[in-house]
Amino acid sequence: MSRNTGPKHRMCRRVGQPLCGSPKCPALKRPYPPGMHGNRPRKRSSEYGRQILEKQKLKFIYGVQERQLRRYLDQARKSSGRTGERLLQILECRLDNIVYRLGFAPTLPSARQLVTHGHIEVNGSKVDVPSKIVEVGDIVSVREKSKNLDLVQQALAARAGSVPSYLSLDAEARRGELLRLPAKEEIPVPVDDNLIIEFYAR
């Protein structure tokens, strides 16, 4: 995940959606672009403008850099199936995202922090690389000494054990498993992958 040093919710305000996943996102109350002229009817975008906006949304949601996204796209193109769906599946299976989906962290940036600080294990071994791709059948867990971290406890309590159907969660053991690759309709990301593929095909 690239470090965002600018306004944290600018992209959310720009598109009028809480892309950050925070329940306190200002886009929930002010679903229009920031600035003194933000609360005005939106101008129609060109096809290119829509394509690049979808790409920027995807990068913002998953916190990846342009080089990383292009690498994931190359992997998706070499895989069987629809390129757009495979790209979303690869991003969804990043370790930091799996930690977030399991409810061990309240937001994706905090999930990345848990990973980089060495609080997460994959199949019993400590992993501190947020971009690691979790494979089907892998067990992702919070390390024994970190299970009672306030961040983890509060995040699990707020999520109340609700996880996507392609994951299983043992909240008491602080352990989850990737059961299968998610289908496109199961990935809660408000982007049009077709526009992203069209952008890179230019």
Mean pLDDT of 135-141: 97
- Which pLDDT score, from 0 to 100, does residue 21 have? 64
73 residue type, one letter: L
- Which pLDDT score, from 0 to 100, does residue 26 have? 55
- Which pLDDT score, from 0 to 100, does residue 1 have? 43
The count of other CB atoms within 10 Å of the CB of residue 85 is: 18
Mean pLDDT of 23-45: 62
**Domains in the chain, please, with CATH?**
10-90+188-200 (1.10.1050.10), 94-180 (3.10.290.10)
Evaluate if residue 23 carries a pLDDT over 90.
no
The pLDDT-based confidence of 124 (bands split at 50, 70, 90) is very high
- pLDDT, one tens digit per residue, over 53-97 is 889 889 888 989 999 999 999 999 998 889 999 999 999 999 999
Indicate whether this model's pTM tops 0.85: no
Q: How many whole angstroms separate alpha carbon 167 and alpha carbon 187? A: 12
- pLDDT, one tens digit per residue, over 145-178 is 999 999 999 999 988 768 999 999 999 999 999 9
Helix (H, G, I), strand (E, B) or coil at 133: strand
Closest CA to 62 of 107, 31, 30: 107
Q: Rounded mean pLDDT of the chain?
A: 85
H or E element, residue 178? strand 175-178
